[in-house]
Every structure is written in C-alpha cells, then in structure tokens.
Amino acid sequence: MPLVQTRGAASAQGFGEFAQAAVAANYIEEVFSCFLYTGNGSTQTITNDIDLSTKGGLVWIKSRTDTSGGATSHALVDTVRGSSKWLSSNATSAEATNANLVTGFTTSGFSVGNTAYFANENAIPYASWTFREQPKFFDVVTYTGDGTTSNTISHNLGSTPGCIIIKPTQSASFDDWRVWHRSLTSQSYQLKLNTTDAQANVGNFISQDSTTFTIGYTAVNQSGIAYVAYLFAHDAGGFGLTGTDNVISCGSFTGSTSNVNVSLGYEPQWVMIKRTNSSDNWRLYDNMRGMTASNGGALLYADTSGAEQANNSRISVNATGFGFVDDGANTNIYIAIRRGPMKVPTVGTSVFAPLTYTGNGTSGRLISGAGFPPDLLIQTARSTSENREFDDRLRGGGSTAMNALFSNSTNAEAVDSGSVQLLNQDGFTVRSFGNGSGVTYIGECFRRAPSFFDEVCYTGNGTAGRTITHNLTVAPQLMIIKRRSAASFNGWPVYVPTSTAPRTNVCLLNTTASAADSSYFNLTAPTSTVFSVDDHQDVNASGNTYVAYLFATCAGVSKVGRYTGTGTTLQIDCGFTGGARWIMIKRTDSTGDWYVWDSARGIVAGNDPYLLLNSTAAEVTSTDYIDTYSAGFEISSTAPAAINASTGTFIFFAVA
C-alpha cells in the first residue's frame, strides 16, 4: 500500500458525503469547462461555474499564442496538491511552486495572478480546461511509491478508469508522464504524455477496478517518491435526468486517409487523440477554439509548448461523435467529453440575449454581455439595409470570419466572409464591415440547450426517408434547414405548426409565401431523437452539406405556437412570467413577412422596432404592432393583416 495517500477538499468529508453530493451534480456543465480568456497582466477571476473549492479538481491552462517569453508550457494545477503547485504536460520537470500562477479555487472557477507567460500575461489569449472531481467522470489522487511490484491505490472514481495519467511530483529517476489507457494493447503497455513516442510494453504496469488501481512498474512506484494520478472514467453513465447518460469516453479507432466516423452516442466538446502504433503528438481539440462540423479549428499539442495551429482539418464533430482523417491505417486512442449544457433551461436569459451596439468602424471589436457562449448569432444592421446574417459555432469559420448564411437569400454559405469574426465566451467579435461607423446593429444570441434549441450539420445522401439524429431531447416543433455547399433551389425550408397535419406544411424563411404542402420533411413528424427529410436538393442532395436549426417549447423559456387573428387586440399566452424578449411571427394562410422583435430594441407599450428575416430592409421604428404582456406578448389592434388579419392563421416563436 502507498505510504501517503491524499484527496481533494471534497473527499476530506469522506466518500459517503462526496457521493451523496455528487447525485445533484449530474450534468456535464457542472464538472467540465473549456473557458477562453485573455490575460490582463494583473489578477483576474475565471468564472466558469465549476465548483473547485468544495468539490476539487484540475485546472489545465495553455497560452494559445507565443508569449513575450516565446513558446510557453502547459500548466496543470489541482486542488489536491494545492493552487501554488504546478506541473507541465510537455515537460519532465518536478512540480514547481508559484503562488501567483493560479492564486485560488472558488465555487465557480479559479483565479490567476500576475505571473507572466503561463496564465495571465497582458493581451495573451489562453485556453483553460477544468475537470471537476466527480464519480464516473474524473478523479485526482496523490500517493507515495513503495518500490514494490504491487502497490494498490484507492480512488473515488466510482467506476473502472478508462485512462490514468501519472506523474512524479518531485525529482525522480523516472520523471516522464506515464499514461495507461484501456485501448492500449494490454495492461502492460504505456504511453508518455510528454513525448510523441508510440506505445511500449513495460510489463506489469497497471491494473484497476472501480475502487482501486494497482501499479507494479518502477517508473510509477519508486520508493519514497510522491506522485499525482489523474483518472478518467469511460462510458460509466451517472449523468442526465435518469443518471444513465455517458459524458466521457476513452476509446480507440483505426484511421484512414478518408474520414472515419467514431461513434460516442453524443456530440463531443473536447477531444484528445494520440496515435499509438507510431510516433505522433497528443492532439487537443475543443469546440470553443473552433472544433466544428467541418474541421478541428485551432490545434494544441499536450506534449509541446508551441502555439496553437489554426484551421486543422483532421477532426470534425457530429450529433453522435466525431470524424477523423488520418495519414493512414494508424491506431489511435482518444478521450472525448460530451458537449453541454445537458440541463433543461429554466430562464430565458441563460439561452437568449439580444445585444445592440453602434458601429465605430474598427475591426476586431468585441461585443459582449450575452452571459453565455453563443451557439447561434443572428446579426444585422438596424439603421441601414443589410443581409440577415446567420453565424454559428458548429459551422464555424475560417481564419478571418465566420461562415455566413443569409436568411434573406438562397445563396450558398459565404465561407470566411461574414461580418462577424468569431463567437466568443460572452458574445461575438465583429469585423469593420459589421461595425460601420455610426450604424446601429443588433446581434441576437442563442445557446443550444435541451428542449430549447439544437443544431445539426449533415451531408446529404439523396435518399428519401432519411432520418437525421439530433440532441434536442424533445420533438422539434420548428425546424429550419439551409443548404450550405450550394445555392438552394427554393431557399430555407421551415417546418411549421400550421394545421392538424403540420408534416405537409412548409414555409420558406427567405420569402413571404404562405405555407404549402411539401414533402421536404418526408411527411413524417420528428421525434425526440430524429427528424426526417426527403431527397429534395434543398434538404438532402447527395454530397451537399446542410445545417438544421431545431426549436421547441420549453416551459417558462420558449414557446412555439400558432394563433388565429382577430383584427383586434390579441394576447398570446406563452406561459411566461416576465413577458417575451424575442418574438418571430409569420402568416401562413396567405403571404406575409417574417417579423422579428426583441427587448433590446424595444418591446414596450409604445412603438416597437421590427426587422424582417426575409428582407434586407432597415429596421422599422414607427409602428406599434406588439405590446408587453407578462405571460407572453400582445398584438395590437393597429397591427396589419400580416400579423393579425381576422381569421388569418399565424405561427410564432417567442423566448422569455
């Protein structure tokens, strides 16, 4: 047995209390965060909503560009060893003491000090990955080697580990980071996190179960040497409303020069990949740095101090896993973590934010204040004529801008040419032509969340009756599809709840046309896991790429519905308590525009500015068509036929 074995703050109370506390924290957004920030050269607090001070865990920080000191090492700091102790995944060095790197752990993240290079140099961008200790997800253990061939160490992972990474924290004869992974050839094989080496058979390396792991290899059990071990679970369940959802997977795949799809059962937000049969780097990808449905975005290597590489095209994500393009038939291992949030939202402000700004003519301007990292942004000028630009995290962008789609156009995706540069942690960054001097703008930010909004990117196969997997967790009530790789034949098909047979009624987001019978959605109602499309080129042409935006009614947060006009004042009850902050309305029995209002531009008792999604026209500010109503919204008696014609039928989508 080890001479010394310690645990983080959470386990100081005993495993029983830790396990009990873990029952309530069963969503990935409570135990893992990828958080990007820019150093300020002083001190700052990183609020990522991960409780490290009472639960324990690991913070992994890496500069994304070279600092003033050049290439900068990774910094790994955990609650077990303490905030002043750090290790580097790309080095063999013993832990260093620096009380000014990570200065403390909080119930909602961590704080960093004014240490240059590693965590907070002024104007340097950083990536941080936070792993909270949680049964069936992640655990941190420290121990002291005893020099035997069978040293058994207790852990609190609550399941058999899928991967264990071990490092001596003091100077030792063997000082590499040793990695055991369930998909290596056998228990005797290991990898080194700080090198590109292929797997090696070292004999008697490790064995493990749901409460212990046993080490026998000298390099991880030198007598009197202190070690830290990071344990990652594999498909252990324990998350979601039923407690059965997986959030972390440790698996393997054989690569190919064409795309190989790896099935996880969920869309990942963070993936680490290592080739095992030959030399190669440890690749780190995440969706905050641009891992999208098309490419891997910015790539960092865990085994080097180098800056991130832009626009890596090897990896792509989908609703059930990820794809990877390799140099050949290589064997690769991975650790993948599920995208969040998993929790159904209860307030609209957690998933929707309208941000207004007046342009100043500069490029690279940050528009912040969303309160969450947007997944979809609808951005346009208000005071001048401009396209209605759709930008989203899953489709991503190039080196200078997001890949834009325009709801008023049938055009293909405008690759790397949007007016928005990128989506950020708390908003978005605009280019100069999305920031014209003196022009007023609106950016409406949406976050993907169960029962509210999901997005799926897929490639068409030309087959009628095809089903597409989604992660909305409920049946979508409003679906919008756009062809990306080529101009649409008709435009943006929209599945709408317009009649007793909504499967056959489709509108087009880019036109004023009324709803019409169509087989776009294969005359099949969507389910909580899939939606259907036919073989029309606007939704499923072979080899073409598409994006689908899926929305649903979420109690107290959003409402998809329809109403019959009265020509008089009409209150629409959405089940809200503080009124609607975003409203979209379309007449379906006759022609009518796609009207949009939001609270940032004004949903008040007087005039309410509106924009049209199907038009480039400037905002109209002189009308009072919508009024406040605590349960939803009120349609004024002065509203035109396009919004409130007597006996007319209308669809709407509202967000609280």
Q: Compute the mean pLDDT over every residue in the chain, rounded to the nearest whole number.
A: 94
- Classify residue 2: in a domain, yes or no: no
- Classify residue 4: in a domain, yes or no: no
Q: Do 334 and 275 belong to one domain?
A: yes
Residue type, 432: S
Which residues sit opposite 110 in a β-bridge? 46, 105
Is residue 157 within 8 A of residue 233, CB to CB? The reply is yes
Domain boundary among 96, 111, 132: 132
pLDDT (0 to 100) of residue 536? 96
Instruction: Report, as an integer, the average pLDDT of 321-348.
Output: 97
Rg (C-alpha) for the chain, rounded Å, is 26
Q: Do 322 and 392 belong to one domain?
A: no
Look at residue 497 and tell me whether its pLDDT is greater than 80: no
Q: Do 471 and 527 belong to one domain?
A: yes
The candidate with the shortest Cα–Cα distance to 293, out of 509, 496, 468, 77, is: 468
pLDDT band per the 50, 70, 90 thresholds, residue 18: very low
Is residue 110 within 8 A of residue 46, CB to CB? The reply is yes
What does residue 493 show for φ and ψ, rounded to 5 degrees?
-65, 135
Which residues sit opposite 165 in a β-bridge? 179, 230
For every residue of 434-494, DSSP letters joined together read GS-TT-EEEEEEE--BTTTEEEEEEE----TTEEEE---SS--SEEEEEE-SS--SS--EE
Look at residue 16 and tell me whether its pLDDT is greater than 70: no
Over residues 155-210, the pLDDT tens digits come to: 999 999 999 999 999 999 999 999 999 999 999 999 999 999 999 999 989 999 99
Over residues 50-88, the pLDDT tens digits come to: 999 999 999 999 999 999 999 999 999 999 999 999 999
Over residues 426-445, the pLDDT tens digits come to: 999 999 999 999 999 999 99
- Classify residue 22: in a domain, yes or no: no
Q: Do 611 and 532 belong to one domain?
A: no
Lowest mean pLDDT among 12-26, 131-145, 211-225: 12-26
Domain boundary among 551, 580, 597: 551
Residue type, 610: Y
Q: Do 191 and 252 belong to one domain?
A: no
pLDDT (0 to 100) of residue 126? 97
- Structural domain total, the chain: 6
Domain boundary among 132, 160, 177: 132
**Residue 641: burial class (beta carbons within 10 Å; 0-12, 13-18, 19+):** middle
Q: Do 37 and 128 belong to one domain?
A: yes
Look at residue 223 and tell me whether its pLDDT is greater than 70: yes
CA dihedral sign of residues 639, 641, 643, 645: positive
SS3 65: coil
- Give the percent of the chain with pLDDT over 90: 91
Contacts of 142 (CB under 8 A, 6+ apart): 4, 5, 6, 80, 81, 169, 226, 227, 228, 229
- Classify residue 240: in a domain, yes or no: no
The parent domain of residue 215 ranges over: 138-232
Lowest mean pLDDT among 146-155, 264-273, 494-503, 631-640: 494-503
Q: First vs last Cα of the chain: how many Å apart?
A: 57
pLDDT (0 to 100) of residue 310? 86
Over residues 120-167, the pLDDT tens digits come to: 999 999 999 999 999 999 999 999 999 999 999 999 999 999 999 999
pLDDT (0 to 100) of residue 323? 97
> In the block, which residue shows the tokens 């990828």?
34
Q: Do 487 and 577 belong to one domain?
A: no
The H-or-E segment that residue 332 falls in is strand 331-338
pLDDT (0 to 100) of residue 2? 33
